[in-house]
């Protein structure tokens, strides 16, 4: 891939990441407006947790992005300085951290949540990831492992449970558990995304992260089974498990 094409691809995948920030921020702000226009007397501790987390996620993401992400670098050509929107892998990694911070607030079902808009924002990250994968395949080969890594990280991200209210008998246990599992898996996904952008597109298929996902998702799905079966999390956790096994087997074969 020529330098010019690589630079163009970097700009495109950067803008798709920006679209994620823009779309999800708009949706979260709409939700917060709905929350603060509602009847406070009807809100419980979970409502205030989700509201506080959403506020932290929005402010935290943009403060981190502004203070830690150098979005443009300068090129010097014949003694002249020109702004060139080329983003290094390190800066993509930092953008990934900001994306993960914002995602913390996107994984809670506050009043006024608009799921289709949220899915549209997440889709922007997936497109950016796909562009990065295609770049790395073009530059380094290894298409099977790189696209398998892409698929696994996507499935893992989709297996993160959204925090909801629940009226089950064990809600006193379920609600804190789903908060911890959701936030914990967002943090793990953020780490994966950072390493994905800073590396060559291949994932190591960590056993620990996989085990945490399996145990956390299983606990959340099983505890709420009598009230509602979370087929979305169940399907993507199962898909992630299959992809992890395949990826691990291929990694072992490659190492021999």
218-228: pLDDT as tens digits: 999 999 999 99
- On whether the pTM is more than 0.75, the answer is yes
What pLDDT sits at residue 87?
A: 61
**Residue 82 bridge partners (DSSP):** 75
Gap between the Cα atoms of 175 and 183, Å rounded: 12
* CA–CA dist 89, 83 (Å, integer): 18
Residue 91 has pLDDT above 90, yes or no: no
Nearest 10 degrees: Cα torsion 252, 152, 130, 102: -130
> 193: which strand partners?
none
Q: Which two tokens stand for residue 165?
A: 């209210």
- At 114-159, the pLDDT tens digits run 999 999 999 999 999 999 999 999 988 999 999 999 999 999 999 9
Contact 69, 100 (CB under 8 A): no
């Amino acid at each position: 891939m020529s330098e010019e094409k690589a630079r163009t691809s970097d700009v495109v995948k950067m803008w798709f990441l920006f679209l994620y920030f823009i779309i999800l921020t708009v949706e979260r702000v709409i939700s917060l407006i709905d929350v603060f226009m509602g009847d406070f007397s009807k809100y419980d501790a979970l409502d205030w947790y989700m509201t506080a987390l959403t506020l932290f996620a929005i402010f935290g993401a943009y403060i981190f992005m502004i203070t830690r992400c150098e979005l443009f670098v300068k090129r010097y050509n014949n003694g002249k300085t020109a702004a060139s929107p080329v983003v290094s892998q390190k800066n993509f990694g930092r953008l990934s951290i900001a994306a993960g911070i914002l995602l913390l607030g996107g994984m809670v079902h506050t009043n006024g949540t608009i799921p289709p808009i949220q899915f549209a924002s997440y889709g922007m990250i997936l497109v950016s990831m796909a562009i990065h994968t295609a770049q790395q395949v073009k530059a380094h080969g290894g298409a099977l492992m790189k696209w398998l890594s892409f698929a696994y990280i996507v499935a893992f991200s989709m297996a993160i449970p959204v925090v909801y209210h629940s009226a089950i008998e064990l809600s006193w246990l379920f609600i804190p558990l789903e908060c911890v599992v959701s936030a914990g898996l967002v943090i793990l996904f953020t780490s994966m995304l950072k390493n994905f952008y800073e590396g060559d597109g291949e994932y190591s298929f960590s056993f620990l992260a996989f085990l945490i996902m399996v145990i956390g998702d299983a606990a959340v799905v099983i505890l709420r089974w009598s009230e509602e079966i979370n087929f979305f999390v169940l399907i993507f956790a199962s898909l992630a498990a299959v992809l992890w096994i395949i990826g691990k087997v291929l990694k072992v074969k490659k190492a021999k």
